[in-house]
A and B are shown apart, each in its own frame.
Chain A
Amino acid sequence: MAGYPARATVKEYSAFRLLVEGLRGHTGWKPTWRAVEPKPRYDVVIIGGGGHGLATAYYLAKNHGVRNVAVLERGWIGQGNTGRNTTVIRSNYYYPESIALFDMSVKLYEGLSRELNYNVMFSPRGMVIAGHSRHDMELMNRWAGAMQAYGVDVGLISADEVKRRVPALDTKNKRWPVWGGFTQGRAGTARHDAVVWGYAHAADRLGVDIIQNCEVTDFRKASNGHVVGVETSKGVITADKVVISVAGSSSLLAERAGFRLPITSYALQAFVSEPVKPVLDVVSWSLATGIYVSQSDKGGLVFGGPLDLYNSYAQRGNFPTAIHAVGALAEQYPSFGRVRILRQWAGLVDVVHDSSPILDETPVPGLYINCGWGTGGFKAIPAGGWVMAHHIATGKPHDIGKPFNRKRFENGRLIDEAAGAGIAH
């Protein structure tokens, strides 16, 4: 198993090890994950080295003992949406199917740093959603009732309490006065890259091969139609099972495999300001403008808004959408007006009609897919990986993953959070 013991007697990363390495110039650190070339054959090949693909690999190895696994990444791991999102983690979803999935994910995040022996900086600092009309408040009461019934830690707060928790928010704004708020205490943020590197690190130490700069160009199928491998920029790799976990590029690989998905890829923009001293202690979200903002540990205000208005494979945003997002933030948080935007970027998000994921086997036997997370995939990385690993290893969908099948786009059994609860993802 390629070099490292599965379980070290001394934790590879700890305050003690840091102390020792500091004294000897950090020369003793091993690669966080190994740089390897692909073997000709694996039990499972996972396409896509984002959070979901790496988590799938980790849980295959950890939960199911399937360790002859390769993760193939076209560029560098985490280059897609995992490394481009605004890092919000929450489970305040409306439908029980969604609650089961996302709350599982939050629970896994809660123990993730120690599980992976890598600090992903999960920061359950709480989330406040501001409502701006009577209708908003009624809607929030409806969410709260459903979520509380299913055991999610949400609640309603007054406008004064919103102001106390989010002092920068102009609760008396002319056009968007705040009527009250909706909170989830366990919601928060994590360091997105660390989630990638943590899963990569832990999966690697269990024997998973993580292969970067390896683009999958086509699939190999047996005469019975079963997938038997992939063609890549590093040659042919055979595998019993193959997983597509590539978010915005899902349609392209599906086309190579011979089926079509209910996905449209859009650019979703995110923004970060220059670092400033702490001015915002929670994740704050406005129902009126759809703008959500938090402050990173480094001090940057990280925020985003709605999708760009037409489908795109360009990882760059459009200015009219930026005007809306930044302008609305400056209006709702007037003391941020002179804080300056440092960077703006975009991810390619895989949007399906009901904004819920697809976690399923494809029409090609042996080929699985994890996609359709749209704008909300980061928060679901641990659960997505866990559920997919179960499906692949056992051949049967995990109970929590079952409702998120492909067939719902034929039989209409959608799990439409945006429609049901009005929360955009």
Chain B
Amino acid sequence: MTQSFRSASGGLVERGRTLKFRFAGREYEGYEGDTLASALLANGVRLAGRSFKYHRPRGLIAAGPEESNILVTVGQGGRRTTNLRATEVDLYDGMVAAPVNCWPSLRFDVGAVNNLFSRWLGAGFYYKTFMWPHWMLFEGFIRRAAGLGQPSTEADPDRYELAYAHCDVLVVGGGAAGLAAAKAAAAGGRRVILCDQDTRFGGSLLWCDAEVEGLRGRDWVDRTVAGLSTQPNVRLAPRTTAVGHYDYNSVVLLERVPGREGEARDGARERLWQVRAEQVIYACGALERPIVFPGNDKPGIMLASAARQYANRWGVRTGDRLVVFTNNDSAYDAALAAADAGARLIAVVDSRANVDAQRQKQITACGAELITGGAVIETHGDTVLKGVTVREGAGRTRRIACDGLLMAGGWNPTVHLYSQAGGKLRWEDARAFFRPDGVRDAIACVGACNGTLGLAAALQEGHEAAAFGRAGAPASPQTEEPAIEPLWRVDAPGKAFVDFLNDVTAGDIAQAARENFVSVEHLKRYTTLGMAPDQGKTSNVNALAVMGEATGRAPAQVGTTRYRPPFTPVSMASYRGRLRGDLYRPYRHTPMHAWHLAHGGKIEEFGEWQRPALYLQPGEDHEQAVRRECRAVRTACGLFDASPLGKIEVRGPDAARFVDLIYANTMSTLKPGKLRYGLMLNELGIIIDDGVAARLDEETFLVGTTSGGADKIAAGMEEWLQCEWIDLKVLVAPVTTDWAVINIAGPASPQVLAAVGCDFDPDPKRFEHLSFRTGAVGGIPARVMRVSFTGEASYEINVPADRALDLWERLYAAGKPFGIEPFGIDALMQMRTEKGFLHVGSDTDGTTVPADVGWTKVANRPVDFVGKRSLLWETNQDPSRPQLVGLSEAGGQVLAIGEHVRDPKGDKPTIGYVTSSGYSEALGRGVALAMIQGGRARIGEELVTTRSGQRVRIVEAAAYDPKGERLNG
């Protein structure tokens, strides 16, 4: 007996296409066009889930994204998705779905024991206990009991996309008002995007019996959508939910691409759109409120509008014997629709004393009873609804047998996105809802979203907002709107749920009020109301009204909590889009990258560049390779790819003045053709970069920076020139990647240069250290600089990037007879460490000033420069500051970088730490640099490392060739 609750005809399902699916271990059938929710109801499945805290039996309460009872898990392995609302899962053949948060089964759920103890598990019970001996003893149990679904533990293999769009008008919601708006905007020639969270457009016209422009509502929708779809200036976006409104009408949309949830697919699973619109029209409708009465969470009880949707859209009857409980007129149409779908309408319980005569007639015509001034005060049935107890207006109570109860507590305009956009809300007493207040430029709310529940007025608002580019006319109650008298809470004993998913009751709210959690935000946080995956869509307004009653305040005085994005939950992966793995962040490669790989280069990321740390030869380990490379440079010749070094050309009549301002030391006295090492500071006097500057000519400097600093320093120069020293005539051109840099270093390097041929004399005696030549090396135009970070005779050959690999290979070939070896970052760092050369970022941190690294005199420079005034602070001249010195381990061991040291005679736990360290092949022992408090005055003193207790001595920074005699070969 499948689909026994499906009507014989009607609805927007394809009855010719039967789909088999499994839910909670049982097999069912549905039709194409069903959601999991509608298919479950078609099969008469009432008990479909368990609640969060008390594990109470629950059934479907809604038909849309506001569903707050039935969450399911679909898919396996990496495609397992949990906490999906059954109402948002499109049914497909072979789907397997399971309810969350019940064990071992939906029917027999061990967690339901909580319901027995529920009197002790009310609002905030955990704040009052579990303190002894400590929370951690209890936390594990609580954590395992909490949570809802079990997520995947495997990587999600699906694809996601980030997408961008611009339009003149974004219409959110494709119901009557939204379609009218889109139509008018399109007719005006504007670029329109119309989105709707549903799989098809139409909104309530899909399930209300309405007539528009002489057509049945559904037919009008089809005609309108067909018309829009042919217009080139319109983009239709079904299955697309607006989830966030950000500044300047930037709206984020989540598109759920059609496909079988939980199964592999070709394209993206979801697409996250960022849309910038000149005008945004919110036409996202309204959500119906439940009524707060004892036992209102029993499976079989649902929103009246949901029952109407199931009946008309899916041809599903939500019960055989229905009772309706309402405080407003809108439930009557729902009741009639349910009756049309084959249910027997038993009674309508209306909390109002007076009900429109026409309505009365309709009800009695179905053979049902109308109970005015009444209320449902109790519900019956174990796991599903079997009956209700009704209190009549006169106070008499009686029991009515039924298997379905439709509740209609009034409507809440979907103001979430308008509110996110900063829009204010206004409470309307007569209509008992918050609606958008005031007119905002370029944002309009129309139709039910604006509180306009009548169809004709909604259509007009939509049309006008788009046609005239303004907000809808202020909505006032209209005759076609359902009359309402608020009923916020039925006063009767028993658990009356306000937030179904988080199990928050009216009693919890009353307790919160007693305990002074009367602010709506405190209420939310104390009781967890509105914080469940449904984000309070059905509970917030009821809750604040119940709180208002408890504290003698009107809903307007209580106010709402902040509406925060996203409107509905958004998968994390959709934020990532295609940025994944290798694509997450670009790699920066030098022109010689492939060569490095082919020659055993072990690539690591240094300062955003992929660079060889070392070149491994067969049979070597890392340390052996680094030692071999050092040996080659110190005794013969080495080749180093220095391309990432920052290069900035600074040119103009005032270039010399400018470099004097940005360096801590004087650069203007540099002669053309010469180089000088310099430090750059920020305004706090902190060292931010270092490097060698070359004066190419009177008006041009080539400023060298560290690899990692290249972009920041160039940007910083621009800022100084454009914002501070605006009179200086200087141009700054970052040229880092225009020039590749090959560093050839070691005593044999002049011969290798001579062997490949260069049109200048490479002899280090005549081509002096810290000077440069422009010329050709191996026939390739080059700027060659005599600088050295290894301490050996060294040439930095700058060549156009596209010629670099050619030159590199020729140098390597020419160097072979001389014993040339390529060397990586590790060998370079090792050699500069034994030379005591500073490496910014290793030996310095964000607190290091020039005096700390031995530059004590720059503070006395007579001219101003960036950071100078800060160097005059007493604290920056304090001799006890950390200072860069060498450290020598007593047994010649290598110290770990980051190791701290202390003075065995002092009481400080640490007085400094190792900044650079390694094994010196040349010296046959470990060498290290360190930042030691007052270190320079303490050279010769002995310290110990804090953890390993190694004895170390403070020494001069330069351990190898301290006089620098090797620079000239």
Contacts and interface: CB of A to CB of B under 8 A. Distances in A.
Interface of A: 13-15, 17-19, 22-23, 25-27, 29-35, 75-79, 83, 96, 113-114, 117-119, 121-125, 133-135, 138-146, 148-151, 167-168, 170, 173-176, 191, 193-194, 197-198, 212, 273-279, 295, 297-299, 315-316, 318-319, 322-323, 326-331, 334-345, 353, 411-414, 416, 418-422
Contact of A411 (B123, B515, B875, B900): B875
Nearest to B581: A174
18 contacts: A32-B517, A141-B896, A141-B899, A142-B898, A145-B910, A149-B900, A149-B902, A175-B581, A175-B585, A275-B146, A275-B147, A277-B147, A298-B147, A331-B584, A337-B160, A338-B81, A412-B685, A421-B845
Interface in B262-307: 274
A342 B155 contact: no
Nearest to B82: A276
- Majority DSSP secondary structure for residues of B touching A: loop
A297 B519 contact: no
Given A326-B576, A337-B156, A413-B875, A76 B519 contact: yes
Contacts of B604: 133-134
Contact of A194 (B122, B123, B127): B127
Contacts of B142: 297
Interface of B: 52, 78-83, 119-120, 122-123, 125-132, 134-136, 139, 142-144, 146-156, 158, 160, 162, 244, 246-247, 250, 252, 274, 420, 507, 511, 514-519, 521-522, 525-526, 528, 531-533, 535, 562, 564-566, 569-573, 575-577, 579-582, 584-585, 604-605, 613, 684-686, 841-842, 845-847, 870, 873-876, 896-900, 902, 909-910, 913, 946-947
Contacts of B151: 276-277, 279, 335-336, 338-339
A335 B155 contact: yes
Nearest to A200: B516
Contact of A275 (B119, B136, B148): B148
Contact of B146 (A79, A83, A297, A419): A297
B143 A297 contact: yes
Contact of B139 (A18, A123, A138, A323): A123
A30 B604 CA distance: 62
B946 A149 contact: yes
Contact of B846 (A117, A145, A299, A419): A419
A329 B873 CA distance: 42
B851 to A, nearest CB: 13
Contact of B134 (A113, A151, A315): A113
A347 B570 CA distance: 21
Contacts of A117: 131
A328 B579 CA distance: 9
B146 A335 contact: no
Contacts of B525: 78, 83, 193
Which 6 residue pairs across A and B have the least CB separation, nearest first? A419-B846, A141-B898, A299-B147, A337-B156, A337-B573, A340-B569
Contacts, number: 307
Contacts of B126: 119, 121
B65 to A, nearest CB: 12
Given A25-B507, A276-B149, A339 B572 contact: yes
B246 to A, nearest CB: 5
Output the residue of A18, A298, A340 with the most chain B CB within 10 A. Answer: A340
A276 B150 contact: yes
Nearest to B149: A276
Contacts of A83: 521, 525
A335 B78 contact: yes
A26 B505 CA distance: 13
Contacts of B685: 412
Contacts of A114: 131-132
Contacts of A344: 244, 564-566
Contact of A277 (B150, B160, B564): B150
B913 A146 contact: yes
Contacts of B515: 29-32
B153 A167 contact: yes
B516 A276 contact: no
B146 A327 contact: no
Contacts of A121: 126, 130, 135, 139
Contacts of B570: 340-341
Contact of A138 (B125, B143, B897): B897
Contacts of B162: 323
A344 to B, nearest CB: 5
B128 A337 contact: no
Contacts of A297: 139, 142-143, 146
Given A274-B83, A274-B149, 19 more contacts: A26-B511, A29-B515, A83-B521, A119-B129, A125-B139, A151-B909, A212-B519, A273-B569, A277-B148, A278-B144, A330-B573, A331-B576, A334-B155, A335-B78, A337-B155, A338-B158, A343-B535, A418-B846, A419-B847
Nearest to A115: B131
Nearest to A124: B136
Contacts of A277: 144, 147-151
A279 B153 CA distance: 8
A424 to B, nearest CB: 12
Contacts of A34: 516
A316 B119 CA distance: 38
Given A123-B139, A124-B136, A326 B909 contact: no
A338 B148 contact: no
A389 to B, nearest CB: 23
Given A197-B127, A330-B572, A340-B572, A319 B507 contact: no
A175 B584 contact: yes
B127 A119 contact: yes
Output the residue of B123, B896, B900 with the most chain A CB within 10 A. Answer: B900
A22 B119 contact: yes
B129 A18 contact: yes
B790 to A, nearest CB: 20
B564 A343 contact: yes
A413 B945 CA distance: 27
Nearest to A332: B584
Given A27-B514, A297-B143, A338-B571, A13 B129 contact: yes
A343 B570 CA distance: 9
B139 A318 contact: no
Contacts of B132: 114
